[in-house]
Structure 1
Amino acid sequence: MNRFRTHVFLCCLCFLSMVQLTGCWDRMEVNDIAIIVGAGIDQASTNQVKLSAEIYIPEENNSESQSGGGVTTNSGNGKTFVSSATGSSMAEAMYKLQERLSRKLYWGHNDIFVFGQKRAEKGIQDDLDFILRYVRMRERANVYVAEGKAFDILGIIPKLEPNSMEALSELSKTEISTTVDLKQVVQQIVETPDESFSIPYINRGTLVTDKKHNRNPNVSYFQGVSLFKKTKMIGSLNTDVTWGYFWMTNNIKGNTIIALDMPHHETIAILLTGSKTTLTPRITADGKWIMKVKVRSEGNLLQNTSAIDFMSPKQHAEMVKLANEEVKFSITNTMRILQKKYKVDVVQFGDEFRKKYPKQWKKVKPNWSTAFQQVQLELDVMVDIPRPGFLNKSIVQMKDVSK
């Protein structure tokens, strides 16, 4: 009897072991998937959306640049291609895109979403709902708006990076750009009364109309930030105005250059080594809403072709004053455009008032767009310039001394 029980026990144990050792029945091999490294979303027609995906080509297949049907173009250095499909929704467009490919779409490596301008102006709420609801998408993927079509951005052939999406990612790390991911966008939509937020605005080199610079057509350029209200793009800030936005949102990075306007075509340039901005809201007894913007920056003198002597305490103070005024002008100019032209709070002043004055905030929250236009600025700016670089005086000043 004991022997029989032992046999039964061993059989049960073997059966349980077999259940647990089922192997990789749901495995997904690399040669079975189409790895997406970037995605673009465009407005195809009135009620149609165009989904484009930049897909990685495995090394062994680099010599065979074949598509799975649809609109396909080579990009990068031959290691990616772009395929597109159109549908009445993002879900349908992705389904049709999958039909054109022999491999299963894999979104786990996608770090970039680019919206075409027309799609952004129509509204991106439905697209965000799909992206965040689909379990294979990454909520930390960066978001951009293209001046034109997102498909054109994906089709760029970069020289220094393996693909156009990697080039965008590296561009966002520079001092002239910024990053916004899906999670930040959704957070601002939920927390702000008018669902206001900003997304980096980019363009392809061939579309840049600034004739003062030679633009590489195979490079994406930062064009400023796009402004959203109620999840629809209502306008944008160009690169010059965006600096004021950076100052107010504490997004000034090291290696940023402040160029001071001087008479007689002279130049004073300051290379920042660090900067910090703090916002302090205040409501006065007579009901005025004031935002104090405190900026503390430090930098080195990068160029000085003016007559100002850096080593003279009095003239050094004059240089610091000029730098402070430049920052103040940048902030006030940007604030004027946001308040008077677009009437949108993308600098998150409302969130600062909500934290400090919750009771007063509840009263103005339904009409914050109107109240934001009345917020007054109080600027406290200090740009310290402790080092002149390797030259204490300009070449002209040294020449005058030697005479």
Structure 2
Amino acid sequence: MFLFKWIIWLPVLLLFILQGCWDRIEVEDRILVLGMAIDTVPDEQEEGERKYSVTIQVIEPSTLVGGVATQASKEPIWNVTTTSESVREALKQFQTRIYRIPYYEHLKVIVIGEDLAREGIEEALIPLLRHSEIRLKTKVMIAEGRGRNVLQIKPMLEPVSAIYISRLSEEARFSARFPDIDLGMLSHMFHAKSNMLIPRVRAAHREAKLAGGAIMKKGKWIGWMGEAEVAFHHWVVGEIRGGEIVVECPEGDEGHIAYEVDIAKSIIKPMVNSENISFRIKVETEGVLMENTCKNLETLDAKSIEKMEALLRDHLKQGITRTIKKVQTEYKTDIFEFAETLSKREPKVWKKVEKRWIDLFPTVPVEVDVKVLIRRVGATT
């Protein structure tokens, strides 16, 4: 009898307990946000104040089939811009501009305008780091000029520019020509108060180019690094994920050799002698000789292989040394993790020099040691 009563009353109890999500939002009431650009509004700013221009790229999925626009009368994307004194308030204002609720969980990329980068990016990005829908893996880039212009490009093969830029970042990251930075990394750097290198993006009418990086000191832009310099930076900090090195033949010979990186690693070692601090960087790489057009170097000859390894070694050593020296003299900003390495390996020394590191870094001697091994031979000409 007792069991029979439970069987009768259980469905009634479940009606009160399982009532679904009280704050649910139907899919039809949402619109996907795939890209975001944040710029300043300099003409409307008063002294000591900052006003943001925030652009989001929203997509209408029903107009796309297999990534191709299907309705000529309806654009698949819409770039919506609003201005506000805070990024958080700007995101709220979009709900008064769009007839559906913006959904940020599919956000692919955040592009920051150059003017905002010069003034500082931390204040603008904190609301995004705290946003419950925005993933920490969202890519972040610094635009040359206005960030909004990057979202407005019309790529040839991809109707949604935010997806195009995101895929460009994923597919080109192995070239080592630009840093790979997302919101989570920036959050860590903000808390550690460390300097950073953020990828640079350039916009044209039909394409975007990811190349080089923006040097950020205390969250503010202080200069650009070229794509070759970014690659040498990656060799120092151990972030080479592949790519190819092309060097010219020895003097008196025409042509070039192309070397594809298979394995790369680096070690930064602080050298402390009394009160003198220096660093030794050891770089090792193994790879494949993909091409050799030098007339005086035989691809299958052991001595010629040694000469090609020497050419590659000199190229890397000179490039790394030149890049470090340029950053020390022109930007005086440690983006090579020297301070972090010193604090971990020599904590007592670091405590003594921590407050003076900004002044010490530009004059710290750096020794570079490179070892290159051609493990295999590919195509020959």
> Are 1:281 and 1:289, in contact at CA under 8 Å, matched by a contact in 2?
no
Residue number in structure 2 paired with 1:186: 187
Percent identity for Structure 1 against Structure 2: 27
Deviates more, 1:157-166 or 1:323-332: 157-166
Deviates more, 1:285-294 or 1:130-139: 285-294
Change (3 A) 1:161 1:251: farther
Query: Alignment partner for residue 71 of structure 2, among 51, 63, 78?
Result: 63
Q: TM-score, normalised by structure 2?
A: 0.88
Deviation at 1:264, TM superposition (A): 5.9
> Are 1:35 and 1:107, in contact at CA under 8 Å, matched by a contact in 2?
yes
Change (3 A) 1:265 1:146: farther
Distance in 1 of aligned mates of 2:239 and 2:73: 41
SS at match of 1:172: helix
Unpaired runs of at least 5, structure 2: 65-69
Does the alignment pair 1:85 with 2:88?
Answer: no
Distance in 2 of aligned mates of 1:65 and 1:95: 29
RMSD: 2.5
SS at match of 1:277: strand
Larger Rg: 1
Deviation at 1:199, TM superposition (A): 0.5
Q: What amino acid does structure 2 have at the position aligned with 1:198?
A: L
Query: Alignment partner for residue 268 of structure 1, among 242, 253, 256?
Result: 256
Deviation at 1:51, TM superposition (A): 0.6
> Are 1:90 and 1:127, in contact at CA under 8 Å, matched by a contact in 2?
yes
Deviates more, 1:325-334 or 1:300-309: 300-309
Q: What amino acid does structure 2 have at the position aligned with 1:197?
A: M
Q: TM-score, normalised by structure 1?
A: 0.83
Distance in 1 of aligned mates of 2:156 and 2:192: 40
Distance in 1 of aligned mates of 2:127 and 2:379: 55
> Are 2:39 and 2:53, in contact at CA under 8 Å, matched by a contact in 1?
yes
Distance in 2 of aligned mates of 1:51 and 1:109: 17
Distance in 1 of aligned mates of 2:218 and 2:89: 24
Q: What amino acid does structure 2 have at the position aligned with 1:349?
A: F
Residue number in structure 2 paired with 1:222: 210
> Are 2:286 and 2:372, in contact at CA under 8 Å, matched by a contact in 1?
yes
Unpaired runs of at least 5, structure 1: 67-77, 207-216, 395-403
Deviates more, 1:114-123 or 1:360-369: 360-369
SS at match of 1:36: strand
Deviations 1:109-138 (A, max 9, x none): 112111000011111111121111222221
Does the alignment pair 1:201 with 2:200?
Answer: yes
Change (3 A) 1:160 1:383: farther
Q: What amino acid does structure 1 have at the position aligned with 2:13?
A: L
Does the alignment pair 1:387 with 2:376?
Answer: yes
Residue number in structure 2 paired with 1:234: 222
Query: Alignment partner for residue 331 of structure 2, among 342, 349, 369?
Result: 342
Change (3 A) 1:306 1:277: same
> Are 1:116 and 1:150, in contact at CA under 8 Å, matched by a contact in 2?
yes
Deviations 1:176-199 (A, max 9, x none): 33310111112122224xx31110
Change (3 A) 1:159 1:292: same
Deviation at 1:12, TM superposition (A): 6.8
> Are 2:179 and 2:197, in contact at CA under 8 Å, matched by a contact in 1?
no
Distance in 2 of aligned mates of 1:198 and 1:13: 60
The number of residues matched between the two structures is 365
Does the alignment pair 1:333 with 2:322?
Answer: yes
Residue number in structure 1 paired with 2:67: none
SS at match of 1:379: strand
SS at match of 1:373: helix
Deviates more, 1:40-49 or 1:275-284: 275-284
SS at match of 2:141: strand
Deviation at 1:355, TM superposition (A): 1.0
Q: What amino acid does structure 2 have at the position aligned with 1:58?
A: P
SS at match of 1:284: strand
